[in-house]
């Protein structure tokens, strides 16, 4: 190598090293970019949290509003009272909200239990057993699940009416439990997908030790599927608790109303001036069972996940 080429190489290396930042400068730039990214992310998440929380805070404050009429001049109430909750639970002049609340709670609790049993049973059968028409049944259930339930509302109503399940409030309660529970087994795909992740070898080992299919289901599958059971229980409770369309089609008179229909009734033009603040109070009361259910089920979910990790 000539002296000139070595000089060029040394000069190129020197210029490259001069352009490239040193170690401390590079790490400082990376920290600066990371800091900017964290600030932007936290600001965006903060804005989303405010947008998400403002309606909830507004409904909560509106439930204590002394002015029972809808929003007029101020966004947040200026005078507060607890009377809206008292009148909601005691005033029977327009509707009986405690009865509606209790009826809906009974329906949602019953559907939650039935839904969980159906989905677990169908999911286990489809995951663990092999029989004729199994694939055809799964495809049929998948196709039927793509159609919205509102398409069958009128047919369901006339069937229930022919059976005499729309005549009284008790019969309507039974009818709603049947309707909400009838199609629950068709939603087995998520549960089946979770059970498919459990090795078949565990079932075979248990059956070699003398366990029956029922023992395998109760002692092996159910403890492992507790996280999915929590999810299914929440879905099974929320569906009848928040549904409006099916309840409106079946419960035609006010003595058969569920809580969603009662809240809808409060917003009618002849009642809204006196019942709007009570509507907000009812919305707060409706959210309490949902919050309690989430808190309780989250504890079971965490304990089941901890147990699975330890196992």
- Summarised one tens digit per residue, pLDDT across range 271-305 is 888 888 899 999 999 999 988 888 888 776 665 55
Let me know if residue 9 belongs to a domain. Answer: no
CB 180 within 8 A of CB 225: no
In this prediction, residue 111 carries a pLDDT of 93
Determine, yes or no, domain membership for 4. Answer: no
Specify the pLDDT at position 72.
Answer: 65
Q: Give the domain-ending residue among 48, 83, 118.
A: 83
pTM for the predicted model, two decimal places:
0.79
Among the candidates 25, 53, 83, a domain finishes at 83
Last residue of a domain, one of 30, 52, 83: 83
Structural domain tally of the chain?
A: 2
Q: What's the pLDDT score for residue 45?
A: 93
Q: How far apart are alpha carbons 184 and 187 in whole angstroms?
A: 6
- For 158-168, write each residue's pLDDT tens digit: 988 888 888 88
Asked if residue 306 and residue 187 are part of one domain, the reply reads: yes
Residue ranges in the chain modelled with pLDDT below 50? 1, 3, 5, 7-9, 13-18, 307-311
| pLDDT given for residue 107 in this prediction | 94
What confidence score (pLDDT) does residue 24 get? Answer: 67
* Same domain? 190 vs 265: yes
Residues 38 and 91 in one domain: no
pLDDT score recorded for residue 304: 52
Identify whether residues 93 and 67 lie together within a single domain: no
pLDDT at residue 8, as a whole number: 43
Say if residues 135 and 192 touch (Cβ distance below 8 Å): no
Structural domain span for residue 189: 85-310
Give the model's pLDDT for residue 9.
Answer: 44
Is 8 contained in some domain? no
Q: Is residue 1 part of a domain?
A: no
The answer to whether residue 240 is domain-embedded is yes
pLDDT recorded at residue 43: 92
Closest by CA position to 118, among listed 217, 184, 180, 174? 184
């Amino acid at each position: 190598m000539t002296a000139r080429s070595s000089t060029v190489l040394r000069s190129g290396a020197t210029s490259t090293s001069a352009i490239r930042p040193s170690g401390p400068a590079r790490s400082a730039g990376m920290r600066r970019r990371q800091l900017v990214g964290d600030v932007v992310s936290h600001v965006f998440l903060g804005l989303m949290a405010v947008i998400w929380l403002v309606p909830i805070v507004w409904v909560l404050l509106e439930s204590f509003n002394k002015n029972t009429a809808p929003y007029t001049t101020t966004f947040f109430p200026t005078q507060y009272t607890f009377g809206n909750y008292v009148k909601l639970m005691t005033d029977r002049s327009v509707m009986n909200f405690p009865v509606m609340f209790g009826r809906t709670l009974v329906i949602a609790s019953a559907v939650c239990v039935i839904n969980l049993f159906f989905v677990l049973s169908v999911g286990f059968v489809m995951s663990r057993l092999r029989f004729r028409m199994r694939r055809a049944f799964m495809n049929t259930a998948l196709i039927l699940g793509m159609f919205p339930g509102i398409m069958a509302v009128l047919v369901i109503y006339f069937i229930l009416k022919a059976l005499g399940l729309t005549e009284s409030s008790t019969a309507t309660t039974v009818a709603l439990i049947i309707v909400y529970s009838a199609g629950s087994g068709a939603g087995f795909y998520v549960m089946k997908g979770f059970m498919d992740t459990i090795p078949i070898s565990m079932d075979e080992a248990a059956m070699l030790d003398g366990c029956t299919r029922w023992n395998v289901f109760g002692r092996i599958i159910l403890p492992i599927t507790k996280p999915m059971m929590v999810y299914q229980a929440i879905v099974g409770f929320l569906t009848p608790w928040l549904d409006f369309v099916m309840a409106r089609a079946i419960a035609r008179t006010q003595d058969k109303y569920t809580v969603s229909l009662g809240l809808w009734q409060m917003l009618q033009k002849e009642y809204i001036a006196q019942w709007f603040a009570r509507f907000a109070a009812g919305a707060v009361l409706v959210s309490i069972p949902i919050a309690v259910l989430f808190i309780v089920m989250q504890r079971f979910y965490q304990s089941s996940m901890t147990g699975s990790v330890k196992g």
